[in-house]
A and B are shown apart, each in its own frame.
Chain A
Amino acid sequence: MSFWNDPINFLADWLNGVLTGWGLPAGWATVLVYLVGITVLVVFAMVLDIGLVWVERKVVARFQDRLGPNRLGPFGLIQPFADIIKMVIKEDITPAGADKVLYNIAPVLSAASVIMLWAILPLAANIYGVDLNVGLLYVVAMGALGTLAVIMAGWASNNKYALLGAFRMVANMVAYEIPMVIVLLIPTILAGTMSVIGITEAQRDIWFALLSPLGLIIFMISAIAELGRSPFDLNEAESEIVAGFHIEYTGMKFGWFYAGELLHAFTFGGFAAILFFGGYAGFFGLEKLPAFAWLNLPLVQAFFFILKAMLGYWVIMWVKYSMPRIRIDHMLAFNWKFLVPLSLILLAATAILHKILVVLPTWQYALGMFVANIVIITATIEILRSYGRRQRLAEQRLSPQPVEN
């Protein structure tokens, strides 16, 4: 294998050869090679995170009709580095009465739970950490660790606002985990496997976004709620409980909560790309043509994956800066009374249709699935509309408005 076709394995084998040439037993050489690879991947994720800080601030500025950072470096590109230096040299104030051990573990656990997601994120067909055959549940498991970090942070701060914010955040995160897990079942059914690489490979002919647009919508809504970003960010609402569970954190510990949230958002953009937009593959069969054979190169695939992940992240930012915050009881009611039944209906429809239609050729299968999704979306909108109309009529009967002429 040459370098361009399989860069990671090429380098790993070379390094392995060097280490065993120096006399290390094979097991230790593998562990060292793994450690080098993991460090490179994590450093890449951290550098990406720094870039995301800049992207976030510039995009929010444009949405708010202003310029954003533009003093440090060309277009303000040095700004995130200045932010990091500022956070590192700030004084670390631990509130009195705080539970010191938990107070220090919480930001580390929060950042670690996001970094762990990069173990299964495939950047290309052969640039990935490990291909677990339970990849999707692993994503959910890391979300569970993040929830634990939030509760630890809220409790350890010895502050009733922090605890209140932490409770709301955890209630939010666990509630929206249900529609997310149910919607994760849809690519599992369509691809026949839980492994992330398997789902990407199954999309070489057609994107799952076309087979299940409603699944994509529900996934994006649940992901935004899981992240705790607007419009679901009552937990950090500046005007209400002033930064919620991380109110008592200063300096780099707060930095890890903030940077972790941005990296988490980007990683979920990446998962949306993998599950619904074909990840590093998904060229509709174009790469089989000899003129487009370069689409099979790993670095090209990685470029397209990062591009799709950036687009997903951009949609998440777009929603954040365009919509007002939702109240906590509305958030929970929306989840339990609307999203969970809707996603269960979608799951049932997808399962039945997949079984019935899988024998047909691809475009008929795709058409059937797409039409079923559109039917469900239309039916839902109609039900909501008639419900809203009935509510409005009931209110008008109770308090008649003067008719305008």
Chain B
Amino acid sequence: MNLFLGVLPIALLLLGFPVFLVLLTSAATMLLLLAHIPLSVLHQTLFGALNAYTLLAVPFFVFTSELMARGSISQRLVDFVGATVGRVPGGLGVTTVCSSALFGAMSGLSAASVATVGKTMLPALLAARYPMRFSAGLITSMGAIDVVIPPSIPLLVYGTVAQVSVPRLYAAGIVPALMLTLLLCSYVVWFCRRNGVGASNNAFGLAHLGGTALRAIPALGAPAIILGGIYGGIFTPTEAGAVACVYAAAVPLLIYRELGWREVFECAQSAAVFTAQILIIVACSIQFGWVLTVNQIPEIFTNWLIGMHLPLPVLILAINILLLLVGSFMDPISAILLLTPLLLPLVKTMGIDPVHFGIMFVVNLGIGLFHPPFGVNIFVAQTVLGLPLNTIYRGIVPFVLVYLVGLAIVTYVPAVSLTGVRWLVH
């Protein structure tokens, strides 16, 4: 019976059933067959799972992202970053990475960044004679930074499930995100120097920089509101999300005059439906986690792993490999919701800080987003940018290696994650 209940969710997932249905079916079956608890608890846990104020930040940040992805905000950001860093060798590549990180700091969604910044940067990279394979790899992989940088939605979901403070997680994400950005930029510069591509002919112009900065200032206000608001003690993350929504609507509506009220409402509809796709899985997974806990499954799993007496670094390595594998088959939010109830008790027993583990978790899943064969961003780049799959697969390999270096640093040097918490959270 236990074997059947263990195999059932995996089999349904592999057959391609919706994740929410798999979780709901598994929870209901376990409750009926094992726990002998009234079924009304299914309703109570589903309702209770969403009865959380922190989760309101999810629809707010998704709405912000929808608004930011329309109009010319990404082009203005790219122009500004280009004027700032475009002179270094491989300046256009560096601009691509930094623009993506900046876009992530406004939206928290990886695929949106790949699609939006990618649409602007790919033609420019190809026109500047960057190799197609390199450009495809760069654009597909750059979005992974956005799941680490605040206001990351995967981190928000992890915080809710693991009951870890979201401001602490966001503070912890800043240094690793900057480190990953720096690693990617270093690789881009090294590649361009070695292969003699991407030499910049533009002289640095203060007037040009000032002009692009002036055009981008309204767009740059969003990350300032989100981070400044949270760490200045002005807003909670949820309130920061709501204020960012109003700001993100006001900029294209009133300042740039690119969107109308109808488009803003379309963004709201599309954000609400996307949010529902996430929140229904959140609700069902919290319910599933509750049923697992009632049946003491995380405890059994933890005791089994501890009983193997593996050294801590090996155990962490095994967790990393598991997360990388899962991340390349599943979107980060579903993976966080499925695995957090199983892994967190183990991690706490080993004495790892749940905040540090959260960052490690999302960096792994971020790599999974563009990891061959099935990373979600590979298909975003293929569909939205029309890049050939073979070119993307070949182009991605060096970027996977760069991210793995970053992952090793995040995993084995907890200070990288915890420094931001010490600086920003009192």
Partners in one complex: no
Measured CB to CB, the residues of B under 8 A from A are none
* Chain A interface residues (CB < 8 Å from chain B): none
